[in-house]
Structure 1
Amino acid sequence: MTSKPKAQLAPLPRTEILVYWVLSFGSHLYSFYQLHRFSKDHEASLVREFQLEKGLLKGFKRDPLDFEWSFWTEWAKKSLLWTLIGHGVVSRLTSTFYPKLRLPALTIYGVLAACSVLGIKGVSLLLVHLSLSFSVAQLRKPALSWAFSLLLLSTLHIQPLQDIQRRWYKSEEEYYLLLFSVAVCGLRFISFSLEHCWSPLSHGGGDVVQLSWLFSYTFYHPFFYNGPVITYKDYTEQMRRPAEESDREESALSYFLLRSVRIIVWWCIAEYMIHVMYMHCIQSNETYIEILPPWALGGLALALVQFFYVKYLVLFGLPSMLATLDNLVPPQLPRCVSIMYSFTGMWRHFDEGLYRWLIRVGLQRQQMKQVIPDVPPPSNTFQLFLGDPEAFPGQMRYIIPPAGSGSTLGSPPWWTCLENLQRKSLQTTSTGSFRREGAVPLLRAPSGCLSFSPYHPTEEAHFSCLYPRSCSLGHYPELMTIGESWNVDELVN
């Protein structure tokens, strides 16, 4: 029996799209304005309670309670901004005059820069972790490498070790920087160990070559402290490419200037937000949240989310720019959370580097099953995020259709057990389009956990017309996200 062709979706009128954008921006700006008014009305009490800092703008105070922003801003002023600039200078000089020495030069520079900030003792701790991870990886046992890497990371929570490491530094900020560096480097050690376990014995050269690549990967300065994360496989493949394959040489200066201006603009937006809206102080006191007007409460939620987005545009923007100039392909910068259609899109596109890392290191689930057969391996967790119906087989699972447009004729009740649903090869919707068998991404979770089904197809079609660049997420057309299509199979190869 031949199936009818899928109905063509007509684009929305431009006028309607314009109306939606105006309403979206208008609601954002009005809610921000209401939050600003509330912040100014209660500025005196906020100053007394939270010690608002003197602002960069005349007549404004500055909200200092976002730890990440304050922490990395202070470290950028002290040293990190200058060491990143130094990395860029070393990279350009070696690329121009001594291309064959570029990789060793960047590695040596990264080690020296880390020593200047973390001190000899801090770098020595990282070298101990590096050497132990490298030694365990030689056994080529993925489960053992996983377990040992987690054991190394767990040492960050041992109180006696914390006390010893705190005595190395004069301030808590220096100790926290060491913690962040060890944690991020731990991700790199896991990536290297698993790639080494999976590679053939004759692949990648001898132990000295592998160790040198691990040093380069670990101490690559733009990604050293805070990311973004890049897998060992991607790093080595991209660094091995000849310099002439890069098309950035002729436009490197223009790219650098344009990207620098964008980063400065993002930084200005982030600073402006914490000068005119004291959202972090307000959210720290339940009393303020209870007396917030409805529009200001919505503005508080939007401001916190948007500030988080802009903050990581800055924190990831500068390292990504330097990595691009080094002929690497860094992860894409976060996407605006206000145009994300699903939480799956948030998971994939806000921190693309971490997403790719998790997908890559979760490949070999069979080895994990052999060691711990009753515990789902990491890749099942990633399948859960991706909406794979084969994650956590044999467990109870539920479907919860959304309210509103999803509650149409033919939809199941507000909750329905999967085993009671009769699914056909093709289900015709009320709009005349078709849905393939298994297309509904069911999030299988242990008993008691609930998961969400996608929106109704009419809502999906409406969204795809409103955002022309939207496309399907992986194998599930119902989950939409802005931007380019992703294929999970390509990510892990």
Structure 2
Amino acid sequence: MTVPLPRYEVAIYFIIYGVFLLYGIANIFSLRNDLIANTQYSFTSGWSIIGRKRDDSNDEWENFKLFLWRNFSWYFAHISLTEACRFLEPTLIPVAHSVLGLAFILATYQTQTVLTILCQLLTFYLVSRYFRKSIVWALACIWIAVINILKNSSKLYQHDTYVEYYEMLIALSWCILKCLSFCLSKIRHRDDDKLIGSFNLVNYFGYCLYFPTFICGPFMIYERYKGCISNSVATIEELEYRAKSLLRNGARIIGWLLFTDFALHFIYVFYLEQNITVVKSLNPWALYGFGYLMGQFFHCHYVVSYGIGITMAKFDRMDPPSQPKCIGRIHFYSDMWKYFDQGLYEFLFIYIYCSLCSKTGPRYKKVFASIVTFIFIFIWHGFYDYVLIWTVLNFVCLSVENVFKYFVKTAFYANLVRNFNFKNQKRIYALIGSQIFIPSSISNFYFFAGVDVGNYFMQRTYQSGLFNYLALSVCCYCIFQSAEFINEYDSHGIRSV
């Protein structure tokens, strides 16, 4: 459906989309002083140049910034050590990553944390020697269970070591994916004499303890990490090019970090996520503006946190996953999985989904593979009710989306729309697709803000009368058409007529 719509029509879609978002955001912006006056907990002091308090309600964002501030020097140490090895003896690059990673955890964390991380890494490496997928996955299940027990046993750590406890859980969760990627790739290449040698202990530790992605992510499959080993030869000219790219991308990431913190002086979206009473008082414009802002702040967070790891990995001559795609351009939920967290998507697709079904296999196997994949998503994120609801809704919405995409390719659908021209077919396509977009978006609100907020969005969306739903549907239809236009333009350079 690449026939362009009239230019004026596309302009109308973008205008309605923009008005919907700007007015909704303005409603949230107008609450800023009332929220400060009535909040039960004081916000933190903001930037002195602004003279306002800043929303510090999101522990994940605050701990991430604290991690950067405390460990900024380790990034310089990583760059210096890696580049020294690249010019002196490139084969030592994984050794450098292993040594630096070990030095970091030894210098930063208490003994029990260090032993827990090393125990996880060593147990996976030992079972990889048996070349049995069943054993590897059984061990992964054990470690996921351990992590979930630790998540509910925060009393094991004193209050002053909560940040360490939090970072340990993140590190263990990332390392499960890394260990699985290494072990399963090793099993896959066990008969390849040229490749099996790269699956050694040094490379394994270098991969799992690779500092730029150890806490902040993103996840990279082992094949991506090996790029720093195979692309080891460097020249001064090539180093200058990589250094300029590092500085340029680093400045962009710092800019996004500062912008996000600046916005939190005026838009208290993190506080609203935790205050269902205030959320219930929002008018429809403010409510859906709040929903959009939750997604955008979530996106900004991962543009910064993932962006650091991606930028450093590119500097180290790897081919890391792409940056998270802006949610404002995503109208199919399958694209959210593919393009927001590409590293996690690759893991799920390669090591779970494709291992259970083939592209030409029967449909029931694909459904089973999808169910197993989403079960893993649930247990890896944690046994929480909001994660369960989010996971189930994800599966249902993706299944409905796949049925929809299959349906529009059938002869039956072609016969239904045969009397419509291609432009009208495109409008019908968006009309149906936008109805899938609505619950798909709400499913994310469970993940962002929990069960109460997610349930309230569902209630306001589907139980507030026909007029309210029609107004929302019109806005979502315009969002869908706008996203379709942007994607088609990016892919094919299509312009409106």
Please give the range of the TM-score, normalised by the shorter of the 2 chains.
0.7 to 0.9
Cα deviation, 1:36-77, whole Å, max 9, x if unaligned, reads 11121332111xx12211111533111111121011112222
Alpha-carbon offset, residue 347 of structure 1: 1.2
Match of 1:321 among 301, 311, 320: 311
Match of 2:69 among 71, 77, 81: 77
Please tell me whether the aligned partners of residues 87 and 106 of structure 1 are also in contact (alpha carbons under 8 angstroms).
Answer: yes
- AA paired with 1:324? K
> Kindly tell me: are residues 59 and 244 of structure 1, through their superposed partners in 2, closer, same or farther at Cα, counting changes over 3 Å?
closer
Q: Partners of 2:479 and 2:252 in 1: how far apart?
A: 34
Q: Which residue of structure 2 aligns with residue 66 of structure 1?
A: 58
Corresponding position: 1:143 with 2:143: no
Please tell me whether the aligned partners of residues 55 and 268 of structure 2 are also in contact (alpha carbons under 8 angstroms).
Answer: yes
> Kindly tell me: are residues 238 and 339 of structure 1, through their superposed partners in 2, closer, same or farther at Cα, counting changes over 3 Å?
same
Please tell me whether the aligned partners of residues 337 and 346 of structure 1 are also in contact (alpha carbons under 8 angstroms).
Answer: yes
Alpha-carbon offset, residue 129 of structure 1: 1.4
How many residue pairs were aligned? 419
Q: Which has the higher strand share?
A: 1
Question: Equivalences for 1:187-206 in 2 at 5 Å?
Answer: 187-203=177-193
Cα deviation, 1:248-303, whole Å, max 9, x if unaligned, reads 53422321221122112101221122110112222322221122233222221121
Q: Partners of 1:269 and 1:243 in 2: how far apart?
A: 37
Match of 1:240 among 230, 233, 236: 230
Alpha-carbon offset, residue 247 of structure 1: 8.8
Please tell me whether the aligned partners of residues 91 and 229 of structure 2 are also in contact (alpha carbons under 8 angstroms).
Answer: no
Q: Which residue of structure 1 aligns with residue 267 of structure 2?
A: 277
Alpha-carbon offset, residue 378 of structure 1: 6.0
Match of 2:23 among 11, 30, 37: 30
Q: Which residue of structure 1 aligns with residue 112 of structure 2?
A: 121
Q: Structure 1 length as normaliser, TM-score?
A: 0.72
Q: Which residue of structure 1 aligns with residue 206 of structure 2?
A: 216
Corresponding position: 1:9 with 2:29: no
- AA paired with 2:330? M
Moved more, 306-315 or 243-252: 243-252
Match of 1:351 among 341, 351, 355: 341
Q: Partners of 1:129 and 1:425 in 2: how far apart?
A: 54
Corresponding position: 1:336 with 2:326: yes
Q: Which residue of structure 2 aligns with residue 55 of structure 1?
A: 46
Q: Which residue of structure 2 aligns with residue 446 of structure 1?
A: none
Please tell me whether the aligned partners of residues 216 and 309 of structure 2 are also in contact (alpha carbons under 8 angstroms).
Answer: no
Q: Partners of 2:316 and 2:74 in 1: how far apart?
A: 15
Q: Partners of 2:350 and 2:237 in 1: how far apart?
A: 28
Please tell me whether the aligned partners of residues 54 and 62 of structure 1 are also in contact (alpha carbons under 8 angstroms).
Answer: yes
Cα deviation, 1:320-374, whole Å, max 9, x if unaligned, reads 111100001111111111111211111111101100111111132279xxxxx9x
Cα deviation, 1:65-105, whole Å, max 9, x if unaligned, reads 112101111222222x2212321232233334443433322
Alpha-carbon offset, residue 312 of structure 1: 0.7
Q: Which residue of structure 2 aligns with residue 267 of structure 1?
A: 257
> Kindly tell me: are residues 16 and 427 of structure 1, through their superposed partners in 2, closer, same or farther at Cα, counting changes over 3 Å?
closer
Please tell me whether the aligned partners of residues 190 and 196 of structure 2 are also in contact (alpha carbons under 8 angstroms).
Answer: no
Q: Partners of 2:60 and 2:478 in 1: how far apart?
A: 40
Q: Which residue of structure 1 aligns with residue 34 of structure 2?
A: 41
Question: Equivalences for 1:411-490 in 2 at 5 Å?
Answer: 423=412, 429-432=418-421, 464-471=484-491
Task: Give RMSD over aligned pairs.
Answer: 4.4
Report the secondary structure of 2:27's partner residue. Answer: helix
Q: Partners of 1:192 and 1:422 in 2: how far apart?
A: 44
> Kindly tell me: are residues 109 and 401 of structure 1, through their superposed partners in 2, closer, same or farther at Cα, counting changes over 3 Å?
closer
Structure 2 residue runs of 5 or longer lacking an equivalent are 359-364, 378-394, 430-439, 441-476
Q: Partners of 2:401 and 2:321 in 1: how far apart?
A: 33
Q: Partners of 1:246 and 1:162 in 2: how far apart?
A: 51
- AA paired with 1:268? L
Q: Which residue of structure 2 aligns with residue 93 of structure 1?
A: 84
- The sequence identity of aligned pairs, in percent, is 21
- AA paired with 1:310? C
Match of 1:106 among 80, 97, 104: 97
Q: Which residue of structure 1 aligns with residue 388 of structure 2?
A: none
Alpha-carbon offset, residue 223 of structure 1: 1.0
Please tell me whether the aligned partners of residues 464 and 470 of structure 1 are also in contact (alpha carbons under 8 angstroms).
Answer: no
Corresponding position: 1:254 with 2:244: yes
Corresponding position: 1:288 with 2:289: no
> Kindly tell me: are residues 134 and 427 of structure 1, through their superposed partners in 2, closer, same or farther at Cα, counting changes over 3 Å?
farther
Q: Partners of 2:150 and 2:371 in 1: how far apart?
A: 32
Please tell me whether the aligned partners of residues 174 and 214 of structure 2 are also in contact (alpha carbons under 8 angstroms).
Answer: yes
Alpha-carbon offset, residue 423 of structure 1: 4.8
Alpha-carbon offset, residue 239 of structure 1: 2.6
Structure 1 residue runs of 5 or longer lacking an equivalent are 1-6, 368-372, 386-391, 413-420, 440-449, 451-456, 473-481, 483-493
Report the secondary structure of 2:131's partner residue. Answer: coil
Alpha-carbon offset, residue 315 of structure 1: 0.6
Q: Which residue of structure 2 aligns with residue 444 of structure 1?
A: none
Alpha-carbon offset, residue 468 of structure 1: 3.7
Question: Equivalences for 1:367-386 in 2 at 5 Å?
Answer: 376-377=368-369, 381=373
Cα deviation, 1:225-256, whole Å, max 9, x if unaligned, reads 13100111222255323435999534223212
Q: Partners of 2:163 and 2:293 in 1: how far apart?
A: 26
Q: Partners of 1:361 and 1:247 in 2: how far apart?
A: 38
Q: Partners of 2:152 and 2:479 in 1: how far apart?
A: 54
Match of 1:312 among 271, 287, 302: 302
> Kindly tell me: are residues 312 and 429 of structure 1, through their superposed partners in 2, closer, same or farther at Cα, counting changes over 3 Å?
farther
Please tell me whether the aligned partners of residues 228 and 316 of structure 1 are also in contact (alpha carbons under 8 angstroms).
Answer: yes
Please tell me whether the aligned partners of residues 171 and 215 of structure 2 are also in contact (alpha carbons under 8 angstroms).
Answer: yes
Please tell me whether the aligned partners of residues 107 and 215 of structure 1 are also in contact (alpha carbons under 8 angstroms).
Answer: yes
Match of 1:365 among 338, 356, 369: 356
- AA paired with 1:9? V
Moved more, 275-284 or 204-213: 204-213
- AA paired with 1:73? K
